Structure 1
């Protein structure tokens, strides 16, 4: 979906149409959950602190999120998907993978199905969606972002590998800002640069993710669309370009992680009883620490308190910390049986 939360707000409130809109809190500690395309022209982005967003766009209109409404619209859109295929793997409220190799309409071309779905979404919800069509998940995701908003782009098997070579690695799904910066420092700016690196080099610098990067640089992604997974936990994490050793720096680094995780909890109507802190050291050693509550975590402040309580006994760290992550498990929600393993938000 295109700027989903903000587009729903503009649909439901005509006074917001054509204006730069941010869904989120305007307070000093507020964070932008979603930005309309009018706001994005000023450089406003999701996960940006609200004070930064207002500096970039003084006319920005903040709207409090209505997650119950977003969930209802999301279910409406998912029911449209189900007219065409049962192989639906939701990524979030506003995005999903669909496998239409064998589809309910018997249509021979995935492009025709994408066009039909986009038209049906517009007719039934008044919202626009962008679609990417390709032969694997990685390329379909790239294609879906290529002509936003309200776009459709197809990456065929013939053009796939060459298409990947031309793109900056920062555009790749699964390459966040810290990984992008690290790749750039290693001389990897584009897909072609990534493709030129041997598998052993990528594994040495990026661990288990090295094999994934090696594959996608060649347009290869064998992950199936999985519609039958059971979600056991949700989590967010971030890799830092510079290793952290100071508690205040770690506390600050946890804030956007906690914000992203709690926004997803609010949006999906998910709560969890167990908080797990993940720490990856500079030498790639990983440790985790967990705490379970008798009841579900009630708010973001509680999540932050428990996360910091889990972090403090590890200080001072024996070596630099290159990654921090927080996850919630023992989930309680109507959606807890929808999607297996941990869903990572970053």
Structure 2
């Protein structure tokens, strides 16, 4: 039986953590449980309809009529998934490091290569085609923006690590956009991309490329969203990578120089391994933020033109608050939540195994 002194210490610790537990339960745990329950109901926002429908929301979201599997459907994306899966498997076998994270990643890539071949055949259709369009646009935005933002953050951090009189100024200048609200950042770029008076339009005309309607042209609308997001958020990753670079022991670079290593060899063998934890943090936070994109699209393009920039969070928002279908919106939110947790779990497992 614990001693009275130990019980007293436990009671004090619990008393200090109780306010956090209360707020966590009210504002985090309860909404999640409520969303799970609502996803099994035909739940109206006004509360007039609360009908149990089981898995109907999920079958409507993910199902369709006349679905077939075709080897040529999205063949490039599926081939990329298959090649990446084979590469990870071969590398794991060569390094004799087939850990749980790599196994999960290999299975996921192969499963994605198979599942992405399913599509509506002749005369068939998805039950909710807008969901799949929004999911596709969200995935495209994530796959395009995440490497650019993470890569630029690393490059800027490496350049500013060298120091100099203006390094503090450039670091602050790159980080300041991240402090701005999304409404301000999008309004700035909306004005710059204006085809009649924006500075980008003036530049394209000067270069002889003509006037580009960035936000109303289906070919360029998503590009405008990506550029705005990169400018707005790259400063945050710069700070994370900069902090990671500060943790690398400088004597490692000195020893490598004595051994005759060049700059590229130092970067590959010292800098990248030293930034492993920072890289995982950047990728996880960036992927989660990219899947949750809403403000840029809602303000700059409103999902247009023709649904080319319609993203999942905006569709969830409109379904729940405009169409008052909270049950279906909750089901889509849970699918998005599970997807983000799954991706984060893969990255976490791989990072943990490597750190060992």
Q: Give the TM-score normalised by the residue count of structure 1.
A: 0.21
Where relative contact order (Cα < 8 A, 6+ residues apart) is larger, the structure is 2
Bigger fraction of residues in strand: 1
- Choose 1 or 2 for highest CA Rg: 2
